[in-house]
Amino acid sequence: MLADKASSAIVAVSDLDRARTFYEQTLGLTVQDDGMGVLVFRTGDTSLVVYPSDEAGTNRANAVVWGVGDELEAIVADLTGKGVVFEHYDLPDTNFADGIHRSGDFRMAWFKDPDGNILHLNSAD
């Protein structure tokens, strides 16, 4: 039924202008559409929809994930230079250094947008 249908991530924010600045300037995403009170960003072959809500930042799980492959370290370094603070989680069999969790060859990094939505990067392609 839905296997051949496109999907997109959707994130609630409290301030659409502040979110636009973060997602455009910090993360480097491009607005594809900004009508009807929402922002739609192009991200790879999918979209990230950002909309205003009183419930912004209340999700305590990953809101968006990007598989960035071997670019993870460079992206983390670039975002760190822009003031992004990476989360440190106490995960079993995982080492943490320079904002990146390492479990064998798999690498992961988590950070938050201005509303506290959890954004995730990992070394998957």
What is the residue extent of each domain of the chain? Answer: 9-122
Q: Residue 115: name the closest of 53, 26, 73, 24 by CA.
A: 53
**pLDDT per residue as tens digits for the range 86-107:** 999 999 999 999 999 999 999 9
**In the chain, % of residues over pLDDT 70:** 100
CATH number (3.40.50.2000, 3.40.50.300, 3.20.20.450, 3.10.180.10) of 9-122 reads 3.10.180.10
CA dist., res. 20 & res. 38, Å (int): 10
Q: Residue 61: name the closest of 3, 115, 120 by CA.
A: 120
**pLDDT per residue as tens digits for the range 33-68:** 999 999 999 999 999 999 999 999 999 999 999 999
